[in-house]
Amino acid sequence: MKTNVVIAFLVMVAILGHVAAWRARPPVAACGTDFPVFYAGAKLLGTPQLYSPQAVQAIMQKEAGCTGPASAFIRLPYFAALVWPLTLFPMTVAFAIWRVALVAAEIGFVASFRNHWKWALLACVWSHGLAWDFDNGQDTSFLLLWIAAAAALMSRRRDFAAGICFSLCAAKFHLMILLPLLLIARNLRSVAAGAVAGGTVLLAASFAVAGWSWPWQFVAAISSPNIDPYPTMEHNLRGTVAGWLPLEIILGITVAATVWYICRRAPLPVALSSVVAGGVLVGHHLTVSDSALLIFPCLVLALECLSWAIRIWAILLISPLAAVHYRIPALDHLPDIALLGLVYFLGWCAIRPERFRFRNAA
C-alpha cells in the first residue's frame, strides 16, 4: 500500500510538472516541431514534391507561420498516407489530435505490462524522451506500443501477429535494424513471416500513393546533411565517437555481435531488449524523443533480471538522472556510454548464465 501511495504521488508530481512547463511555453515553441513536417508531407502526398524540403517549408510557413532549415519529410510514403486524414483539419487541431493519439499509445504501452503497469506508468511520466515526443509531435510513443504489443503476442505464441506489429515500426526502421538478428538466432519463422507480410503491405501502399520514383527521392532526402544539424550531439554511437565513421562502424559491429550472442543465449524478453537497446546505439539518426524507446528494454530488465547490477543500471538509464547531462555539458555522452556498457554487460552475463540468471526464461 505504501508503495502504491509513493508511486501515485510521484506520478502526480510529474504530471503537474509537465502541465506547468506546458503552460510556460511561448507560442513560438511550436516552430521547429516535427508534426508540422508530417502534416506538410501528408498535404504533398500524390505530388512529385513529397520529399522537397522547399515545398514542405512553404506549407509549414503558410499553416504554422514558421519553419526551419532542417524541416524536410523523411518518412516512407505510407506514413504520409496515415497522417493524411488529419490534413482535413487546421494544423493546430490536427496537432492536438496527434497528441491525443500519442497519449493513447502510451496508455496502451503501460497496460501491456499488466501487473507491473504502475512501474511502467512511473517510468513514462518521468521520461524526458517521452515528454519530448509529446511536445515535439514525434511518433516514438507508437513504436513503444508496437514493440510492447509484439512482445506480448510472442509470449502468447501468436508469432505471426507479433511480426505484423514489428512491421509497423517501419516508420523508424533504422532503430529496429538489429531485429533480424533475433529472428534468425531464435529461428522465429512465423514472426519473420508476419514482419515480411506487414512490410510488404506498407511497401505496396507506399508505391500506390507515391508512384515508382519515390525510393530515389527518399534516399536523397535522408542523405541530406540538413536532417542532422548537430550529428555529434546525438546520443548514439555516432555522437559518442564525435562523428568518426570508422570507429562508429567498428563499435557498431561489436554491438551487433553482442546482441547476436544475447539473442542466442538469453531469455526471449532480454533478447528483444538487447535488440531495442542496440538499435538505439547503432541507429545513425537519432532524436531526443527516440531515447524513450529505452523505456521498454530497461523496464523489462529491471523487472525480469535477478542481477541487481543490471536492474539498477537499467533503472538509472530511464530515470530523470539520465537527463542531467542537458544541464552539465561535461556529462553530455554519459547516457550513451552507459547504454553501450549495459549491452556489453548483458553479453557477458549471457556467457556466464550460472551467475546471472533471468526470470521467466524462454
**What phi-psi label fits residue 356: left (phi over 0), alpha (psi between -120 and 50 degrees) or beta?**
beta
Residue 29 has a pLDDT of 66
Tens place of pLDDT per residue across the chain (362 aa)? 788 899 999 999 999 998 888 777 776 666 778 999 999 999 999 999 999 999 999 998 888 777 777 788 999 999 999 999 999 999 999 999 999 999 999 999 999 999 999 999 999 999 999 999 999 999 999 999 999 999 999 999 999 999 999 999 999 999 999 999 999 999 999 999 999 999 999 999 999 999 999 999 999 999 887 777 777 778 899 999 988 999 999 999 999 999 999 999 988 999 999 999 999 999 988 888 999 999 999 999 998 888 889 999 999 999 998 888 777 777 888 899 999 999 999 999 888 765 556 655 44
The CA-atom distances, in angstroms, between 234 and each of 27, 280, 296, 297, 344 are 26, 10, 20, 20, 20
Amino acid at 163: G
**DSSP H helical ranges for 225-267:** 237-240, 245-265
pLDDT at residue number 362: 43
Instruction: Specify the residue for cell string 537527463.
Output: 323
Residue among 271, 267, 241 at smallest CA distance from 258:
271
The pLDDT value given to residue 243:
87
Q: Which helix (H) or strand (E) holds 148?
A: helix 140-155
pLDDT for position 354 = 55
CB contact at 8 A, 140 and 129:
yes
Calculate helix-pair angle for 91-111, 117-125, nearest 10 degrees: 140
Separation CA 153–CA 241 (nearest Å): 37
User: What's residue 355's pLDDT?
Assistant: 55
Beta partners for residue 358, in sequence order: 305
CB atoms within 10 A of CB 157: 8
Cα–Cα distance between 50 and 41 in angstroms, integer?
6
Query: What value, to the nearest 5°, has the Cα angle with vertex 287 and ends 131 and 276?
Result: 90
Secondary element (H or E) of residue 24: helix 2-24
Distance CA 241, CA 239 (A): 5
